Copies of this chain bind each other. A is one copy, B any other.
Amino acid sequence: MSLPLSRRNFLQTAGAGGITMWIPKQAHAAEESVIGMSKWDLDTPALCVDLDKLERNIATMRKKLAATGIASRPHAKTHKCPAIARLQLAGGSIGVCTAKVSEAEALFAGGIEPILMTTANVTPNKIRRAMKIRKANRQFIQAVDYPQNARDLSDAAKEAGVVADVVVDVAVGTRSGVPPDERALALAQLVDKLPNLKLRGMISYDGGAQHIKGFRKRLDESLKRYEPSMQTFEAMKRSGLNTEIFSGGGTGTYNIMTKVPGFTDLQVGSYIFMDCQYLEIGGEDNEQQYTDFEPSLTVMSTVLNAYFPKRLTTDAGAKALTLNKPGPIVIGENGFTYNAGSDEFGAIQYETANKEYKVGDRLELIVPHCDPAVNEYDQICGTRQDRVEVVWPISARGHSQ
């Protein structure tokens, strides 16, 4: 039998036997020197988060969920940052989710223990990586959506000397998960029987529902689309299986999933940052704009060219903002159309501007879609009243494995 490894031991042994491994980011001393600077003086493009807004978003989620009996288990794929995960846990979240095993490795190495990995590991090496985390971290839970994968996980858990915690991933739509029918129930029963797995319940996430525009439409459609998942949950429950976890939902449906019987926790991600895509879906109280949470995440950029009438070129293109639509919002300007289609440059067109812009001027941008934008940066500057208070490494940046 083997003793559980501590996080320190995990870090020390992580290299052994692994074929590819998480590469720790080295926090450079010079990073610290931006602390105290105005965000308007940072070299750009620079990723920033307004700490007051971030904290308010975390507090708002806690407050809104308080009366519902439903918890939050935020998706760390949004921020990829152990420091922000710690804020979420301190703010009442019961754990975090990750999409990839390499994200789970980075978060655990950063001190985060309650991790639910929402994607199945289907290859032998990734299963080994997952079991290495599980061996060192009793709070690691992983998803499964195929019977053979469940058997492989049980075998690997046995080899690692653990009983691994597993949730069944139940599909909404056609992306990931086992279809929400008798196959889902059979898979849960199989997990329940396998010697080295412990069934913890199910997850079921509807990615397509999050950005349905208009709250009423989003409410109706997402509950309708979730019907088969609810039936699967009921069938699992009736069969006497452990259903202590029934997790799903996101920032667009956080106040909708509360209507799902038996639902336990929300995999909200973007609520901490917000972005142009979420702003336009509309909320329960404000059909025009989704104002439940505040846009805290911005990219600072610099005007590089102002020679051409009604146009500005900036230093923030697709590598700084991604190609997601709608395009970035320039804070303080209503008539700007920002095209981030070029790799290295942003192209602004406008009819009217609130000031005359010249080369070197800074622009603050709300990003089109927070998750992939964060993934373009090695660090994020936490600001308060525009001053940099902290620089956090985005430890799981680029961890797409």
Contact = CB atoms under 8 A, between A and B. Distances in A.
Interface of A: 14-15, 18-21, 23-31, 33-34, 37, 41-46, 77, 99-100, 119-120, 122-123, 125-126, 129, 145-146, 148-149, 171, 174-179, 183, 207, 302-305, 307-308, 311, 313, 315-316, 318-320, 322-324, 342-345, 347, 359-360, 369, 371-372, 375-379, 397-398, 400-401
A4 to B, nearest CB: 22
A69 B15 CA distance: 50
B320 A323 contact: no
A304 B176 contact: yes
Give this chain's copy count: 2
Given A26-B24, A43-B19, A360 B123 contact: yes
A177 B305 CA distance: 7
B371 A400 contact: no
A5 B287 CA distance: 60
A149 to B, nearest CB: 7
Nearest to A269: B343
Task: Report, nearest first, the 9 A-B pairs whose CB atoms are least far apart.
Answer: A21-B30, A174-B308, A323-B323, A23-B28, A15-B30, A99-B344, A320-B400, A20-B43, A122-B360
A387 to B, nearest CB: 14
Contacts of A100: 315, 344
B378 A376 contact: no
Contacts of A323: 322-324
B315 A179 contact: no
Nearest to A16: B30
A376 B398 contact: yes
Contacts of A34: 19-20
Given A318-B372, A360-B123, A23 B31 contact: yes
B122 A304 contact: yes
A178 B41 CA distance: 25
Nearest to A18: B30
A299 to B, nearest CB: 9
Given A20-B33, A21-B30, A176-B305, 10 more contacts: A14-B30, A19-B34, A19-B43, A20-B30, A23-B28, A123-B360, A174-B313, A175-B347, A176-B313, A376-B400
Contact of A123 (B21, B43, B178): B43
A81 to B, nearest CB: 14
A133 to B, nearest CB: 14
A14 B31 CA distance: 12
A401 B126 contact: no
A342 B175 contact: yes
A145 to B, nearest CB: 7
5 contacts: A123-B302, A148-B359, A174-B313, A319-B375, A375-B376
B119 A171 contact: no
B125 A305 contact: no
Nearest to A102: B43
B119 A315 contact: yes
A3 to B, nearest CB: 24
A23 B378 contact: yes
A301 to B, nearest CB: 10
Given A23-B31, A77-B344, A345-B176, A120 B45 contact: no
